[in-house]
Amino acid sequence: MKTKRESVKRIYGVILIVMIVMIGCKETTPAKEHNSVALPEKIIADLTPPPMVPKPVANRKASKLIVNMEVKEMEGQMVDGVTYVYWTFGGSVPGSFIRTRIGDEVEFHLKNHPNNKLPHNIDLHAVTGSGGGATSSLVAPGHEKVFDFKCLNTGLYVYHCATAPVGMHIANGMYGLILVEPEGGLPAVDREYYVMQGDFYTKGNYGEPGIQTFDMKKAIRENPDYVVFNGKVGALTGDNVLRANVGETVRLFVGNGGPNLVSSFHVIGEIFDRVHIEGGSVINKDIQTTLIPAGGAAIVEFKVDVPGTFILVDHSIFRAFNKGALGMLKVDGPEDKTIYSGTTQEGVYLPEGGTIQHLPTDKNTPKKNRVQTLDARITAGKNIYSRTCLPCHQSEGQGVVNVFPPLAKSDYLNKDVNRAIKTVLNGLSGTITVNEKTYNNIMTSLNLTDDEIADVLTYVYDSWNNNKTNVTAAMVKEQKTKKKE
């Protein structure tokens, strides 16, 4: 009987042990949540300098993404004849573009080049965590810091240095963009570009030659000498223009590093079909100008329907034409006159009405040719210059340093009068060299008559040590009939 009781006890004991083990396993085994799903093997992130972006994520699954970012302090050109010591992420301003997707686990390696002089860190607005990564990434020259974060929210986000004084580090160029795409990626487009605005504060005024250093007083007063796209004046003009073809869709990832100014981003001659407001999930449509705060971003998308050069500006417009916030998108392809005709008619506008511009005359009186002395034409040309040319080229033809070329003693004008006539007739954009200095800006065509063009050019040629060429209306008419080059 005793043996039977012992056998029963042993059986119950075994059952009890099994139950304890099962309960223990149940308590210690983690639930199958999204955060604990094993990711595929590691992927090295493709980082690109502006204006290029890495290829879309498309349908790739959430991954362990390795980002290798190096901080470099380096001298670069701000504008022709002016250099600046930029502090950069990846050797460019803005820093390298980072492209991720929702659910990615990012292993971020921040390296501070041993030749640098200062410690730096990184605050990514896409990071949910202390300082956006800044508290984990302060790194001295010659060292490396590693931290991890998970991409929890889709959108286009700014990153920047957050080492004290924070404003100075950002003002020296330490900012960039990180994109977190949704599952399945963004809708496909034909072209994608990376554009980021920043304001710079230098000891010297705009265009003052030589190496310039950061001016803290100007930065505190929020009075920048330069407001530029992609780190310098002319970064998106001349040989560096963005390109597309008629019929293509274009997506611009646009950021604003600040540190101070808000951007009113606009593309002259285009309308944004879709705008991801402040880089988020809310989409606005049919937008002319979109507001991008300092430390913010936007995604703008549009289809290019006609050829031409479309001008990117901060529509706080003096920043564009006087401080550098200007770029170009060159679109090639066939014209569509049903969308944009170009000039179809040119005539004289008489605001008072055509009936009171002159005394009645005999209909049979033959029309007299315009006859004026050279002095009278020069006087007329001076008046035309004052109301059309003076804002850009100034009262003594000196131009605006590094923005608009001088007309005074201009080798560009004196070498080729026909080229000067065509410039006034058709406008001019792109890089030109005047008196051994390079300029890259835009001159619109002037809505002047043949006589007015002849008079104003005669005035310019007669002034400021130019070669006194007498430009006639016949010379203007001859260039009008020739095909535009």
For residue 285, give both structure tokens. Answer: 């449509």
d(CA 51, CA 241): 10
d(CA 188, CA 452): 50
Long-range contacts of the stretch 282-290 (C-beta < 8 A, 24+): 289/264, 289/265, 289/315, 290/254, 290/264, 290/265, 290/266
Quick check: 95 and 88 in contact, CB under 8 A? yes
Q: Residues at the annotated binding site?
A: 120, 125, 160-161, 169, 174, 315
Secondary structure percentages of the chain, helix, strand, coil, to 5: 25, 30, 45
- Helices 450-462 and 374-388, packing angle to 10 deg: 100
For residue 22, give both structure tokens. Answer: 């099962």
Centroid of chain to Cα 169:
20
Centroid of chain to Cα 256:
9
d(CA 460, CA 421): 12
For residue 446, give both structure tokens. Answer: 């002037």
For residue 346, give both structure tokens. Answer: 């040119």
Type of residue numbered 40: P
H or E element: which one contains 123? Answer: strand 123-124
Type of residue numbered 83: T
Type of residue numbered 30: P
Candidates 419, 402, 403, 422; CA nearest to 411 is: 419
**Neighbouring C-alpha atoms within 13 Å toward the C-beta of 355:** 0
Type of residue numbered 21: V
Q: Residues at the annotated binding site for Cu cation?
A: 120, 125, 160-161, 169, 174, 315
